[in-house]
Amino acid sequence: MKMNVKENEIEIQGEHPIFGTISIPEGEEIYPAVLIIAGSGAIDRNGNGPKGKFQFNLYKELAGRIAELGFIVLRYDKRGTGKSTKDLLSAGMWDLVDDAERCLLYLKEHPQVDQDRIIVIGHSEGTILGTALSERQKINGLMLVSGGVANLDEYLKHQRKLAYRELRNSKGLKGMLMRKLINEEKEEKKAAKLMDKMFQSKKPVYKVSGLIKQPAKWFREHFLYDPREGLKKADFPVFAIHGDKDAHVDPAILNELPELVKEDAEFHIIPGMEHGMRVQQEEMEILKLKKLYKNISSRPFHEDGFRVLTNWLVTHYKGVS
């Protein structure tokens, strides 16, 4: 049975304020709690981009559905989004983990939160941040949505490989030209050379050709972190879910999860689901993602994906099958 939910704006004080929304089922009971950690880029607490761009509302939808099941849910504005005034471009991976940790500690101090049932949900980059957070703080469950196991370097290589393949398989004159011009080995060397420059710079922001700003600190710290080592330390249940239309991640990587996690580990690949848990019927094409994102927010969320995710939560932390 769905519960009525109240939402409150919160501000977490510290080196810089963190603003978020806490969703609490109506009543005075003690509830299990969920922290949602956003994916990469300037994505706010609801899962939306700045200035009305890319209105996905994934985290708002997740929070609402999970709270109705009897969970307290906290989602927050990451740096450079929503009410946050902290710069995102100069932030490193561990700065983002610091922010997530402050939100987790807020939940641990909340009088209605069951301290033995606190779960972290990470989406996309948030799967890496959530895994890193679990090495710092005791949690009781980790959910990896559209990511997990691999690090940023592996995922970027996977995305480039998809792009090379699509370019080579292009039809007509474009395909012929791409097959002649695209040399995967050379392109990978260019990518490695750029990363070497960012590692050598030691600066938080690196300007490519003196013009294009890149988050060098963020890249360096991500490339040096291996989530597998964090998952090996997991003494709590771990859940992962990918969509088979998700061009950002390699679903096959989840096959490693049961070997890494010594406790309860479960993963699902959902047919017809894309990176933001919405329905996608088109073929998976990474070069057409920008075009797809223009209308993705008008599509329904994938009910099979939400059902599998929420069923796992309720079964493990509400004692209901």
pLDDT score, position 296: 85
pLDDT for 320 equals: 57
The residue-averaged pLDDT of 312-321 equals: 85
Both tokens of 176, joined, read 């012929």
Percentage of the chain lying above the pLDDT 70 cut: 99
218-222, 274-278, 294-298, 311-315: range with lowest mean pLDDT: 294-298
Structure token pair of residue 289: 């993602």
pLDDT at 291: 84
- Mean pLDDT along residues 137-163: 97
Domains of the chain in sequence order: 5-151+225-317 (3.40.50.1820), 157-216 (no CATH)
Average pLDDT over residues 157-185: 83
Task: Provide the whole-model pTM.
Answer: 0.95
CA 193 vs. chain centroid, Å, equals 27
- The neighbour count for residue 205, using CB atoms within 10 Å, is 16
pLDDT computed for residue 145 by the predictor: 98
CB-based burial label for 193 (10 Å; 0-12, 13-18, 19+): exposed
Buried b or exposed e, range 300-318, using 16+ CB within 10 angstroms: ebbebbbebbbebbbebbe
Which amino acid is present at 237?
A: P
pLDDT at 160 over 80: yes
Q: How much is the pLDDT for 179?
A: 76
